[in-house]
Amino acid sequence: MSKQASAYTATQDSLIGHPVPDWFRDAKFGIFIHWGPYSIPAFAPHQPEKSEGSADNVMQAFKYNPYAEWYLNTMKFEDGPTAQFHRETYGADYSYDHFGDAFNASLENWDPVAWAKLFKRSGARYVVLVSKHHDGFLLWPSKTPNPHKPNWQTTRDVVGELAAAARAEGLKFGIYYSGGIDWTFKDKCIESIQDLMAMPGEAEGYIEYANAHYHELIERYQPDYLWNDIGYPSEQSSFDIIADYYNTVPEGLTNDRWISPDGELQTDAFERPEGMTGVLPPKPPVWDIRTPEYGMFDHILPFLWETTRGMGHSFAYNQHEGDADYLTPGAIATMIASSACFNGNVLLNVGPRGDAQLDPAQADRLEDAGAWLAKYGQAIQGTRPVELSRKTLDGVNIGATRDTNSLYLHMFGKPGLGALEIELPSDVRTVSSLEQIGGQVGDWSFDQNTLRLNVNEWADEAVQIFKLGLSL
């Protein structure tokens, strides 16, 4: 890719006109990777306490944070399980900094090509790597090293090597950067939502530092996707970065986690669409897609989105989670199909271990996803969502996708056997053929936008998918 003539300026009016590239709309499924010094202890409370409401309960949520990548913050609660684990395993005076050295040592065993080949087999179309999480450790040898922690970065160019390996497999490559939190610049225990949004800024010398990293990542790696997290300490700097990015990577995109403490809050910043689950970040002035965390939308909305989550309760590897904690292959298939029906993608995280190897149970899930997409991907990837007049059928949620020649009906469960009736969109004039992918269908007919079919046996899958040949 070569740098294009500038088309975007660093203003909200200019940047909001950026279109989401077709490759992302077609992809539907991507792989997220959380891997860093926190992967060495690989610990988070296995059964996090979940509560809502009071400030005390919010603090409890941070103390019992199930995300292993938050280890450095969670261990600061001296009466919490992470601090207890750290004392018993490493000793009370053992610095988190030692995990950076151990992580660098583990890179001798890292094989980015093997990872990329597995990601390709999973059916994913893109990969997003965490280049810096909240602990500030860099996964590339930056020209702007951390001023507070010498050598607080990888000795190998993890970002560059994985980018090359992924692109060699035909995958798009994205970069995550923690813009809103860096504990090496602001070492305060996060106990509340207010703490979460108290970003390091100009006083700490952080804005110039983060800006330099972003421009370096864009220039050096030209990521296909720029995935910021938490927020950004300067709104104008975020506009500068995004303009630089759009002009450098015309077919790129960014997410919705750029809210700034010095910016003007959007009137709908905290809008939560009906029917969604999980956590939705506050909406910044400029964004391409929405990114609910451990959540989904159950209907088509006038924007694109991407659900992101770990296979278990954590993004980074947690040694106390195992096969029973991870999503089942059927749950992953359901998540991918449902997202496609409702204008979304799935960014499913893998958390590599501290020895630079992928957890076998997580790798198995990726192989299962690939086998499922090899069979059903025609109804998922390269399609667009279709609005149906009914959201359920015989108590089972349904959705639809379409490509140029076919419409696909998705049933997220198994209605009763026998006769079914489904009203199709008004622009469907003729159905020329019908099959149940992986299953059977009996007699069927189509008249006045209503499909009538008899099903005598369902496919042995979590999602039942019918393929309709169309004449529009």
pLDDT in tens, 83-129: 999 999 999 999 999 999 999 999 999 999 999 999 999 999 999 99
Q: Is the pLDDT of residue 51 over 50?
A: no
The predicted pLDDT at position 435 comes to: 95
The predicted pLDDT at position 3 comes to: 47
The predicted pLDDT at position 196 comes to: 87
pLDDT in tens, 369-398: 999 999 999 999 999 999 999 999 999 999
Asked if 408 contacts 422 with a C-beta cutoff of 8 angstroms, the reply is no
The predicted pLDDT at position 106 comes to: 98
Q: Is the pLDDT of residue 54 over 60?
A: no
Q: What is the pTM of this model?
A: 0.96
The predicted pLDDT at position 425 comes to: 93
- 396 forms beta bridges with 393
Largest CA distance in the chain: 75
The predicted pLDDT at position 197 comes to: 86
What is the Cα–Cα distance from 189 to 134, expressed in whole angstroms?
12
Asked if 438 contacts 371 with a C-beta cutoff of 8 angstroms, the reply is no
pLDDT in tens, 265-313: 989 999 999 989 999 999 999 999 999 999 999 999 999 999 999 999 9
Please give the mean pLDDT across all residues of the chain. 94
pLDDT in tens, 165-220: 999 999 999 999 999 999 999 999 999 888 888 999 999 999 999 999 999 999 99
Q: What are the start and end residues of each CATH 3.20.20.80 domain in the chain?
A: 12-379
Angle formed by the axes of helices 112-121 and 360-376, nearest 10°: 40
The predicted pLDDT at position 472 comes to: 59
Which fold is adopted by the domain 384-471? Immunoglobulin-like (2.60.40)
CA 363, chain centre distance (Å): 17
- What are the two backbone dihedrals, phi and then psi, of residue 74, each rounded to the nearest 5 degrees? -65, -30
The predicted pLDDT at position 53 comes to: 39
Q: Is the pLDDT of residue 1 over 50?
A: no
What is the Cα–Cα distance from 157 to 56, expressed in whole angstroms?
42
pLDDT in tens, 103-116: 999 999 999 999 99
Q: What is the band of 6 on the pLDDT scale with cuts at 50, 70, 90?
A: low
Q: What is the band of 2 on the pLDDT scale with cuts at 50, 70, 90?
A: very low
Q: What is the band of 21 on the pLDDT scale with cuts at 50, 70, 90?
A: very high
CATH C-level class of 12-379: alpha beta
Q: What is the band of 331 on the pLDDT scale with cuts at 50, 70, 90?
A: very high
Residue linked to tokens 């660093």: 10
| Cα angle, residue 32 at apex, residues 28 and 37 outer, rounded to 5° | 180
Q: What are the start and end residues of each CATH 2.60.40.1180 domain in the chain?
A: 384-471
Q: What is the average pLDDT across 315-339?
A: 97
The predicted pLDDT at position 170 comes to: 98
Q: What is the average pLDDT across 51-71?
A: 75
The predicted pLDDT at position 59 comes to: 63
